[in-house]
Amino acid sequence: MKLSFIKGVLDVNTIIINHGVIPELVAEKTDAIVKELLPEVDEFNFAKYDMLETPVQAVIEDAMTIPFLSDLKVIVVKNSYLFTGDKPRTAIEHHLDTLAEFIEHFKGPNVVIFEVLNDKLDERKKIVKNVKKLHQVNKIDALDEMALKKWVKQQLNAQFKDIKQDALDELIQLTGADYKLVVNEMKKLLLYIGDDAIITKSHVQAIVSRSLEQNVFLLTDYITTNRKKEAIALVKDLINMKEEPIKLLALISGQYRLFYQTKILSQRGFSEVQIAKQLKAHPYRVKLALRKAGKMNLSDILKVMSACAETDYQLKSSYMDKVLILELFILNI
């Protein structure tokens, strides 16, 4: 299929890739670009596609149409996995040769924004090499603890609100510094405080729910400090919240695996930031894991990991009550 292209009239990147692991941040970056290019978005000069549902050749065909009563048209393409090594299940057939030619020759005037939900692009692919050489690639990093706190303050200040430092610390702790959870809990907090100008720690404690990840971290904290009564009580609370014993054990096992990995890498001289990148883990999780692992022996961590594996086998093969098996695991380690 031979392509013909319209000569660009604007000094903008005609193809943009926004990629990162947090969908909300990637979408936020895309929205900012769209608003800059099209202050007034209309159905004639804005389109959105999904590579899991639409072949890329249809996107390219739309990109090559002349904008209607506008300098340009903006096209957003979600789930653009073709730029990665991912192979999701989809019946859609994409013509990579057509995409490669499009990337190499497209000059606009329209702008195509590909959203890629991945921390890395596949540098081995020709389409990735060319788009980095000829166009624009934006990597949207996950917000670390400090950046997330700064973002929260900025968002609140923009609405003439503020949050006390201990309340902000509590919000980050309860949500596990998860961007999406922080956004949702902030909305609830703003509704809760009404006309009040400042969010306090008591507001956070009254409204914000502890994330499952933070519950599991608290559970492992109870286990490592031999607070078995609190651990069993928390397990029962999580079971009442419809969490499955097998899932809870998997999360506990994953937490201890993180303790082991962070401790080993720390002993090898890796910094907190380097460990997070090496393990592809959220910096806040690594920070908490390092703090906890520093007080533990490797032999004790390995002992619990072994017990996790044995308990996992029991949960999947035994006829005993699964909640009882999990409780016995906690009491015996």
Predicted confidence band of residue 68 (pLDDT cuts 50, 70, 90): confident
Distances (CA, A) of 279 to 117, 134, 257, 273, 315: 18, 31, 11, 10, 28
In the predicted model, is pLDDT for residue 299 greater than 60? yes
Say if residue 34 is in the same domain as residue 55. Answer: yes
CATH number of 178's domain: 1.10.8.60
pLDDT of res. 258: 96
Domain-located, residue 3: no
Say if residue 51 is in the same domain as residue 103. Answer: yes
Say if residue 322 is in the same domain as residue 251. Answer: yes
Task: For 273-285, write each residue's pLDDT tens digit.
Answer: 899 888 988 888 8
In the predicted model, is pLDDT for residue 2 greater than 80? no
In the predicted model, is pLDDT for residue 185 greater than 80? yes
Domain-located, residue 8: no
| Three-class DSSP category at 223 | helix
Domain-located, residue 34: yes
Strand pairing report for 15-19 and 162-163: unpaired
pLDDT of res. 232: 95
Domain-located, residue 237: yes
In the predicted model, is pLDDT for residue 160 greater than 70? yes
Q: What is the rounded distance in angstroms from the CA atom of residue 171 to the CA atom of residue 208?
A: 7
**By 3-state DSSP, what share of the chain in percent is helix, strand and coil, each rounded to 5?**
55, 10, 35
**Which one-letter DSSP state was computed for residue 143?**
P
Mean pLDDT of 96-103: 93
Predicted confidence band of residue 13 (pLDDT cuts 50, 70, 90): low
Say if residue 256 is in the same domain as residue 175. Answer: no
| 12-15, Cβ contacts within 8 angstroms, sequence gap of 24 or more | 12/37, 12/72, 12/108, 12/111, 13/111, 13/135, 13/136, 14/106, 14/107, 14/108, 14/109, 14/110, 14/111, 14/112, 14/135, 15/103, 15/106, 15/111, 15/112, 15/114, 15/131, 15/134, 15/135, 15/136
Domain-located, residue 9: no
pLDDT of res. 32: 92
Task: For 207-260, write each residue's pLDDT tens digit.
Answer: 998 888 889 999 999 999 999 999 999 999 999 999 999 999 999 999 999 999
Give yes or no for a contact between 235 and 219, defined as CB atoms under 8 angstroms apart.
yes
Say if residue 327 is in the same domain as residue 216. Answer: yes
Predicted confidence band of residue 7 (pLDDT cuts 50, 70, 90): very low
Give yes or no for a contact between 126 and 100, defined as CB atoms under 8 angstroms apart.
yes
pLDDT of res. 199: 96
Which of these, 232, 224, 219, 249, lies nearest to 300 by C-alpha position? 224
Omega before residue 109 within 30° of 0, cis: yes
pLDDT of res. 6: 38
Domain-located, residue 6: no
When divided into structural domains, the chain yields a total of 3
Say if residue 108 is in the same domain as residue 48. Answer: yes
Say if residue 133 is in the same domain as residue 52. Answer: yes
* pTM over 0.85, yes/no: no
- Residue 224 structural domain: 212-332
Chain position carrying tokens 């923009």: 158
Mean pLDDT of 50-73: 91
Say what angle helices 212-224 and 245-267 make with each other, to 10 degrees: 70
Say if residue 198 is in the same domain as residue 115. Answer: no
Say if residue 305 is in the same domain as residue 258. Answer: yes
Say if residue 92 is in the same domain as residue 191. Answer: no
Out of 104, 139, 174, pick the residue that ends a domain: 139
Predicted confidence band of residue 69 (pLDDT cuts 50, 70, 90): confident
CATH number of 238's domain: 1.20.272.10
Say if residue 265 is in the same domain as residue 290. Answer: yes
DSSP β-bridge partners for residue 18? 115, 138
Predicted confidence band of residue 8 (pLDDT cuts 50, 70, 90): very low
Give yes or no for a contact between 20 and 120, defined as CB atoms under 8 angstroms apart.
no
Out of 117, 139, 161, pick the residue that ends a domain: 139
In the predicted model, is pLDDT for residue 10 greater than 70? no
Out of 182, 207, 232, pick the residue that ends a domain: 207
**Which one-letter DSSP state was computed for residue 67?**
P
Predicted confidence band of residue 90 (pLDDT cuts 50, 70, 90): confident
Say if residue 65 is in the same domain as residue 135. Answer: yes
CA angle 224/209/207 to nearest 5° reads: 135
| Three-class DSSP category at 232 | helix
Amino acid at 196: D
Domain-located, residue 66: yes
Q: What is the rounded distance in angstroms from the CA atom of residue 205 to the CA atom of residue 214?
A: 14
CATH number of 133's domain: 3.40.50.300
Domain-located, residue 1: no
